[in-house]
Amino acid sequence: MSELLVAVQIAGRRCVLRAHDVQSVIELGETTPVPGAPDYVVGLTALRSQALTVIDCRRAIGFDPEKCDTDIRAPVVAVNGFSYALIVDLVEDVTQPEGEPDGVLGGFGAEWARVARGMVETSSGPALMIDAEKLIEEPIRQRNAA
Task: Convert the pLDDT of each residue in 63-116 to its tens digit.
Answer: 887 767 788 999 999 999 999 999 999 999 999 999 888 887 667 788 898 899
C-alpha 49/C-alpha 4 separation (Å) is: 28
CATH number at residue 88: 2.40.50.180
Per the structure, the count of domains in the chain is 1
- Residues 105-145 pLDDT 10s: 667 788 898 899 999 999 889 999 999 999 998 665 555 55
Q: Residues 65-92, buried b or exposed e (16+ Cβ, 10 A)?
A: beeeebbebbbbbebeeeebbbbbbebb
Cβ–Cβ < 8 Å for 57, 135: yes
Provide φ and ψ at 134, rounded to 5°: -65, -35
Residue 81's domain comprises: 5-145
Cα–Cα separations (whole angstroms), residue 121 to 7, 31, 97, 98, 124: 12, 35, 6, 5, 8
